[in-house]
Structure 1
Amino acid sequence: MAIRKNLTTTQSEQLLSTLKARFEQHMERHPNIDWENVQAKLEANPEKLWSLHEMERTEGEPDIVAYHYETDTYTFMDCSPESPKGRRSICYDQEALDARKKNKPEDSAMNMAASMGIEILSEVEYRSLQLLGNFDLKTSSWVLTPPEIRKLGGAIFCDRRYDTVFMYHNGADSYYSARGFRGSLSV
């Protein structure tokens, strides 16, 4: 069964209202950006609105963190204080999920991101998000792992402790109740 990737009019209106309220509450994340322009972009790209709905549904609290003049695009990232609750207890990717013989998690970060139509944050993006606030003080988030590390069975994740952003490694097949992933979406 194909996943429905559009929202009802009511769902769209509710989501836009939620996003606008968050936008207004956190103006420090996006100075000099006008909500009306963002809303026009979202309304012109309903598939992106669906992806933002998925980010919201899984408790990512997406918000705008950048505007790129050269491409006329806005970047949304998960800005929930902790790694999104609806995306925790997952391993890194499908290969890691397939490798687990016992106690498999329900899904992987890379699969979930793809099904939601978003990108998992890179380490650089994760660190740039941390410049906008203090995120993952109690949780951690998988980040895009370089192929040379993944090829050896590992994956990387980040968190913030002691007012410092740390990057660590783990087996890609590991999963913890306090580890999820953060995503981004360009509109």
Structure 2
Amino acid sequence: MKSNKKELSPEQNEGLLGVLKVRYEKHMNRHKNLEWANVQAKLVANTEKLWTINEMEVTGGEPDVVGYDTKTDEYIFYDCSAESPKGRRSVCYDRKALESRKEFKPANTAIDMAASIGIELLTEEQYRDLQKLGNFDNKTSSWIMTPSVIRNLGGAIFADYRYDTVFVYHNGAESYYAARGFRGSVRV
């Protein structure tokens, strides 16, 4: 009988922690005043969240710690790949949008994929904060959490970075493009 527990093998844990540590050391500007040993201890203690971060990695997100919430004692990870994660592109916004398409349906949705790996789409505020840590989505775009008032009217929002500026746009939620994916966050 196969277990539904979201857990990595000891070898996978070690490999992922090694990748995360190298990324952490390479991009110190993303996590000033945070100690790797503390981040690693949280990850090791929470195997399901480590599994989620591995899924972020496997789908091309290059997750990195970008903050610490003192109120909840949680480290915050965002997808920090230069472009929208390759393994999460060509998706429409959500299930309702997918079901509304008559033909040429994409394989999945941003909301469903995020839920399946245990992350949440970045909000507009989080996306703007991410852009303060580097330049992301110079050639791609990323779906971001859409306010219900916009989604109820059939739209969804996405963002990218061009001309030294974060642009937030709208599109029909059922649309999908090879250069549009989504970025997510997880707390550990």
After TM superposition, the score normalised by the length of structure 1 is 0.98
| Alignment CA distance shift 1:3-1:179 (3 Å) | farther
Aligned-partner Cα distance in 1 for 2:72–2:155: 34
Higher mean Cα deviation, 21-30 or 1-10? 1-10
Structure 1 residue 35 corresponds to structure 2 residue 36 = yes
Aligned-partner Cα distance in 2 for 1:10–1:52: 15
The percentage of counterpart residues that share the same residue type is: 64
Q: Determine helix, strand or coil for the equivalent of 1:7.
A: coil
Residue 69 of structure 1 and its aligned partner are, at CA, apart by 1.4
Residue of structure 1 in register with 2:106 after alignment: 105
CA deviation digits over 1:98-133, x for unaligned, max 9? 111100000000000000000100011000000000
Structure 1, unmatched stretches of 5+, are none
Residue of structure 2 in register with 1:9 after alignment: 10
Aligned-partner Cα distance in 2 for 1:9–1:100: 42
Residue of structure 1 in register with 2:185 after alignment: 184
Residue of structure 1 in register with 2:45 after alignment: 44
| Alignment CA distance shift 1:105-1:49 (3 Å) | same
1:106 alignment partner AA: A
| Alignment CA distance shift 1:2-1:172 (3 Å) | farther
CA deviation digits over 1:34-61, x for unaligned, max 9? 1111111001100000000000000100
1:175 alignment partner AA: Y
Residue of structure 2 in register with 1:162 after alignment: 163
Aligned-partner Cα distance in 2 for 1:31–1:159: 25
Structure 2, unmatched stretches of 5+, are none
Residue 180 of structure 1 and its aligned partner are, at CA, apart by 0.2
Q: How does 1:95-134 map to 2 (within 5 A)?
A: 95-134=96-135
Q: How does 1:128-147 map to 2 (within 5 A)?
A: 128-147=129-148
After superposition, the CA RMSD in angstroms is 1.1
Residue 4 of structure 1 and its aligned partner are, at CA, apart by 5.1
1:130 alignment partner AA: Q
Higher mean Cα deviation, 4-13 or 171-180? 4-13
1:47 alignment partner AA: E
Q: Determine helix, strand or coil for the equivalent of 2:138.
A: coil
Residue 68 of structure 1 and its aligned partner are, at CA, apart by 1.2
Aligned-partner Cα distance in 2 for 1:105–1:6: 29
Residue 72 of structure 1 and its aligned partner are, at CA, apart by 1.1
Q: Determine helix, strand or coil for the equivalent of 2:91.
A: coil
Residue 31 of structure 1 and its aligned partner are, at CA, apart by 0.8
After TM superposition, the score normalised by the length of structure 2 is 0.97
CA deviation digits over 1:140-168, x for unaligned, max 9? 00000000000010000000010100000
Aligned-partner Cα distance in 1 for 2:87–2:166: 23
Q: Determine helix, strand or coil for the equivalent of 1:169.
A: strand
2:184 alignment partner AA: G
1:166 alignment partner AA: F
Question: Which runs of 4 or more aligned residues in structure 1 lie more than 3 Å from their structure 2 counterparts after TM superposition?
Answer: 1-4
